[in-house]
Amino acid sequence: MTAGQQTIIYPVKDKDRSKALFTVLLGVEPYVDEPYYVGYKAAGQDIGLDPSGHAKGMTGPVPYWHVTDLRERLAALLEAGAELLQDAQDVGGGRLIASVKDPDGNLVGLLQDGAA
């Protein structure tokens, strides 16, 4: 089951310049500001900046669909013809992410939050 798109992550080449721009755009300070990730919460959305995104194959912003069983949904997408971009990975606190490309090359992310 999906809870919809609630997170979008942008690959960035210059984290500091991108952080300055998104802070102005969103009107809030980041809730996470680490060398590997900058995260914002604004208007019910999580917006992330990933300085390693281009190296991971991200060609643009990736929308992340929040799901209840990431591994099950990932397997179903692969069975339906998606191409694996990033396998399931724990990014802290039990939060899992993965991403695929659809047959047209569009990036689709999956996100499962850890147990609260």
Q: Is residue 4 part of a domain?
A: no
Residues 102 and 69 in one domain: yes
What does the pLDDT look like over 49-92, one tens digit per residue? 999 999 988 889 999 999 999 999 999 999 999 999 999 999 88
CATH assignment of the domain containing 115:
3.10.180.10
CA–CA dist 109, 3 (Å, integer): 13
Neighbours of 8 (CB within 10 A): 14
Domain that includes residue 102, residue range: 61-116
Global pTM value:
0.82
CATH assignment of the domain containing 34:
3.30.720.120
Number of domains in the chain: 2
Q: Is residue 2 part of a domain?
A: no
Residues 104 and 80 in one domain: yes
Residues 70 and 98 sit within 8 Å (Cβ to Cβ): yes
